[in-house]
A and B are shown apart, each in its own frame.
Chain A
Amino acid sequence: MAKFILRKAEPKDVSDILRLIKELAKFEEMEEQVVLTEKELLEDGFGDHPFYHCVVAEVPKDKQSVEGYTVVGFAMYYFTYDPWIGKLLYLEDFYVMKEFRGYGIGSEILKTLSETAVKTRCSGMHFIVAEWNTSSIEFYKRRGAADLSHEEGWRLYEIDKCNLLKMSSK
């Protein structure tokens, strides 16, 4: 099975996108953290000022998954800015369903995203990986990715909504 296509996500894909987001989160043992809804994905991705962009991988109907899905992989990304080097492409999520791995879908998605990054004159592509996810780390390092947390000491911090409210009212 080598037949698949990559295409820009459309509004009709939000149900599959959310399904795949949850599958990836489950793999990261974070499934209960996904509070995003299809309605939000629709508003935030397909309005006048999208907060994200998405590519999906689709197989023909005769190759559908055991549960009957034809959208079998996706990548969610957006553009960020580094005041030293300019535009960057940030890869938020990247996932291929287990039964469709090993056919080059992941590689093709990453290739498409890199082409997008180069075409839009981004200086690089950034993303985060969990340090226990050794197979993904190997996948990325084979493609020349550098671990900034390890090499430069960058640590990712977060302030949640509750503390944001406190801070904004001070």
Chain B
Amino acid sequence: MDFTIRAATLEDCKDISRMILELAEHEKVSDQVKITQRDLEQDGFSKNPFFHGIIAEVPEHHKSREGHTKVGYSLYFYTYSSWKGRAVYMEDLYVMPEFRGKGIGKALMSKVSQLGLAAGCTQLNFTVLDWNKSSLDFYLKQGCWDVTSDLGYHCMRCEGDALEHLAQGDL
């Protein structure tokens, strides 16, 4: 099937927002999505963007059942490893279920890798849920390894009240 991979633009935020919700539904946590289309426009397409996007698009005659031609996306940003320097973090990777198995996911990830390498990055990082077997299998096939399992690193988060208290120096 024909598809193109390209950098996301402001006009794509509507479809990105739609697909973010679809991905959250797949992970069974769609009530946690607080970001709106407008937030994406401000945070991704202003002078100092907090993220970058890639879109997978199909021609009109291959559009989805509901009439969408933007059928996959990836959100990524640049990070920094104090051991190795510049790195790229892939925050989201998603292809609509009816368009899977056609190499779109691989192509999106390949594009993120190309952009990362061009920017001088030496690693691509991301997180996966431990129950997501099909994604785990896909990533292992691309040559990645599980840092949590192999090195024992756990992802931690401080948010909401905890963050406010920390800022005030409360213990």
Chain A residues proximal to chain B, CB less than 8 Å: 21, 24-25, 30, 33-36, 40, 44, 51-52, 76, 78-87, 90, 92-93, 107, 110-111, 114-115, 117-118, 122-132, 140, 142-150, 152-168, 170
A85 to chain B, nearest CB (A): 5
Q: Flag if B79 contacts A165 (CB, 8 Å).
A: no
User: Can you list 20 residue pairs at the A/B interface with Cβ under 8 Å?
Assistant: A25-B83, A34-B84, A36-B85, A78-B78, A83-B20, A92-B81, A93-B82, A118-B167, A124-B159, A128-B154, A128-B156, A130-B151, A130-B152, A146-B159, A147-B154, A147-B156, A149-B155, A154-B130, A158-B125, A168-B114
Q: Closest 10 CB pairs between A and B?
A: A144-B162, A124-B159, A163-B143, A114-B167, A149-B154, A114-B166, A153-B130, A52-B80, A81-B51, A155-B148
Known: A51-B79, A115-B167. A85 touches B34 (CB 8 A): yes
Q: Flag if A83 contacts B35 (CB, 8 Å).
A: yes
CB-defined contacts of A85 to chain B, threshold 8 Å: 32, 34-35
CB-defined contacts of B24 to chain A, threshold 8 Å: 84
Q: B96 at interface (Cβ–Cβ under 8 A)?
A: no
Interface of A (DSSP majority class): mixed
Number of interface residues of B (CB under 8 A): 75
B33 to chain A, nearest CB (A): 5
Across chains A and B, the number of contacting residue pairs, with CB separation under 8 Å, is: 247
**Closest Cβ neighbor of A152 among chain B residues:** B129
Contact digits for B11-52, partner A, Cβ 8 Å, 1 yes 0 no: 000001000100010000100111100011001100000110
